[in-house]
Amino acid sequence: MQFSVKGNVVDVFNKIFFYGEVFISNAKIIEVRKIAKAKVNEKFILPGFIDSHVHIESSMLVPSEFAKLAVVHGTVATVSDPHEIANVCGMAGVEFMITNGKTVPFKFNFGAPSCVPATIFETAGAILNANDIGALLQKKEVKYLSEMMNFPGVLHSDVEVMKKITAAKKNNKPIDGHAPGLRGKAAKNYIAAGISTDHECFTAEEALDKLQYGMKILIREGSAAKNFEALIDLMNNHADYMMFCSDDKHPDSLVEGHINLLCERAVAKSIDIFKVLLAACINPVLHYKLDVGLLKEGDAADFIVVEDLVHFKTIQTYIDGILVAEDGKSLIKAATSGIINQFNCEEKVAVDFCFPYNDEKEIFVIEAIEGQLITNKLTATPKIINGEIVSDLANDILKIVVVNRYKNIPIAKTFIKNFGLQQGAIASTVAHDSHNIIAVGVDDESICRAVNLVIKEQGGISAVTFNGSKNMVVGLPVAGLMSTDDGYTVATNYTAIDKMVKKELGSTLVAPFMTLSFMALLVIPHLKLSDLGLFDGDVFGFIK
């Protein structure tokens, strides 16, 4: 099929605009013809947006449904780490993502998950060793070694870690980093081992420290972790070394927008448009060697048409010359190719969640921080009723638990601050990195009901009121992480349960389920909870 599209062409490489016509034939751009100077009040043609680091699973959608929603906002490709499903289902999980992604016209670029399990301090559903990683990296669909969270292993030349890094180098594929707070000599040594990116910088100072050693910095703005404001000014002087990513994107958030929103915000801060588009469209393709077109003759016909370069409202999205979205409507027909899961957990009773008082003068409390993955480590005086330590609503200190989903072992329990619940409980099987069941609530009965709701669904998110008058659950039967439903339906259901948690249960968080999912993420300091116990990220060990 041959056709052409006219508009103001954005040539990011030469930093110019002109009114022109793009000719497409057999999925390729065969000519970009300049007709005149750029016209006022004319639409713009530019390369498609790319999310340079995202866990598709966080959207609660299978890849094909994620694509359906993303193309509406001008996204044509992702650099996707299947780390979450790999921790549940291993190699079969990675294969599921690749296979499902191929069912739609969208450019998923998957990585080989480097840390499965993420640590030895939690129970995951699978193990991927260096041989497994080597096999994945030989696949053409696998473009890179996913985030190397085990930075202590890199710094201490752990044998298994170094084998994985060597496998990536052997296959000429880049290595993603994950080293929150790493600075100075340690950062330099981490980068020298071959780690090329980081999406975990919380401050400009940390990012600058890594930039000076040649690392590329990803500006992350997801549903929970938001680092745009802290890092965006660096783009003025370091645009060649920066990209945009979401990392984790819940379905309601994906319906609202994607990388286009970061472009809008960057332009509003007077960042040069060509620097913004380098980060949003060009740099990921060059860094990861992606088969994604950049609006040049001979390239794949991957491009978008937007209303303007202020709000980036997408009029049309093309992938390999196929029109996949137009005027806010997705033209992708998605399909779920089967279900994969690993779930072996019996229903619980309320007494399982009791926290006996043993003369503790103080208890440890995780402090959740809005918009961040890091937490603070606090202590508090326990509230005691009938010989048990219970939630202290007056001080917003609630019980949090992690239930092993793979086998029946004692439940891990501690306390957390800043969720703001006034009644009931919420639970989820989206709990990075091993995706056991995590729940927070006001009382044991509510926590038990919320946990049992997701157990019955073999994965999901749930919310319950104190007296049981209202229970909601969104089932996630694919690895306990993703739904088989239409993406827009999942977004609607997620919006409803999120509203319940805020309006009826009283949570003060912007994204309570997303925040909850990171309270078991041991590789991010300072205090977290795994199914095996309370974990101190600063010493990288359990609190005794």
Nearest to 79 by CA among 281, 229, 252, 307: 281
Identify the band that residue 222 occupies on the pLDDT scale cut at 50, 70 and 90: confident
Identify the band that residue 526 occupies on the pLDDT scale cut at 50, 70 and 90: very high
* Calculated CA dihedral for residues 85, 87, 90, 91, nearest 10 degrees: 60
Q: What is the pLDDT of residues 380-399, one digit of tens each?
A: 999 999 999 999 999 999 99
Q: How far apart are CA 77 and CA 293, in angstroms?
A: 10
Q: What is the pLDDT of residues 419-466, one digit of tens each?
A: 999 999 999 999 999 999 999 999 999 999 999 999 999 999 999 999
pLDDT given at position 42: 97
Q: What is the pLDDT of residues 36-92, one digit of tens each?
A: 999 999 999 999 999 999 999 999 999 999 999 999 999 999 999 999 999 999 999
Identify the band that residue 225 occupies on the pLDDT scale cut at 50, 70 and 90: confident
Is there a contact between 126 and 88 (Cβ–Cβ < 8 Å)?
A: yes
Is there a contact between 319 and 114 (Cβ–Cβ < 8 Å)?
A: no
pLDDT given at position 530: 98
Strand partners, 23: 4, 31
For 310, other C-beta atoms within 10 Å of its C-beta total 12
State yes or no: cis peptide before 178, omega within 30 of 0: no
Which residue is listed with tokens 């009723």? 385
Nearest to 439 by CA among 467, 471, 415, 406: 415
Nearest to 439 by CA among 418, 471, 467, 411: 411
Is there a contact between 449 and 333 (Cβ–Cβ < 8 Å)?
A: no
Q: How far apart are CA 11 and CA 110, in angstroms?
A: 28
Q: Is residue 228 scored above 70 in pLDDT? A: yes
Mean per-residue pLDDT for 120-140?
96
214: left (phi over 0), alpha (psi -120 to 50) or beta: left
Q: Is residue 334 scored above 90 in pLDDT? A: no
Is there a contact between 534 and 526 (Cβ–Cβ < 8 Å)?
A: no
Q: Is residue 337 scored above 70 in pLDDT? A: no
Identify the band that residue 170 occupies on the pLDDT scale cut at 50, 70 and 90: very high
DSSP track, 344-374: ------GGGG--B--S-S-EEEEEE-TT-S-
Q: Is residue 278 scored above 90 in pLDDT? A: yes
Is there a contact between 126 and 93 (Cβ–Cβ < 8 Å)?
A: yes
- The tokens for 150 are 């085990």
Q: Is residue 307 scored above 70 in pLDDT? A: yes
Q: Let me know if 309 is exposed, middle or buried by CB neighbors in 10 A (0-12, 13-18, 19+).
A: middle
54: left (phi over 0), alpha (psi -120 to 50) or beta: beta
Percent of the chain with pLDDT over 90: 93
Which residue is listed with tokens 């103001």? 8
Identify the band that residue 1 occupies on the pLDDT scale cut at 50, 70 and 90: confident
pLDDT given at position 488: 95
Nearest to 403 by CA among 441, 368, 371: 441
Q: Is residue 111 scored above 90 in pLDDT? A: yes
Average pLDDT of the chain is 96
H or E segment and range at residue 190: helix 184-192
End-to-end CA distance of the chain: 67
Mean per-residue pLDDT for 484-495?
96
Q: How many residues does the chain have?
A: 544
Q: How far apart are CA 344 and CA 332, in angstroms?
A: 35
Going along the chain from its start, the domains and CATH numbers come out as 2-330 (3.20.20.140), 350-542 (no CATH)
Angle between the 91-101 and 130-137 helix axes, to the nearest 10 degrees? 20
Identify the band that residue 335 occupies on the pLDDT scale cut at 50, 70 and 90: confident
Q: How far apart are CA 101 and CA 353, in angstroms?
A: 40
Identify the band that residue 224 occupies on the pLDDT scale cut at 50, 70 and 90: confident
Identify the band that residue 106 occupies on the pLDDT scale cut at 50, 70 and 90: very high
Q: How far apart are CA 235 and CA 275, in angstroms?
A: 7
pLDDT given at position 302: 98
Nearest to 348 by CA among 437, 414, 228: 437
Cα 63 from chain centroid?
A: 13
Q: Is residue 468 scored above 90 in pLDDT? A: no
Q: How far apart are CA 173 and CA 139, in angstroms?
A: 11
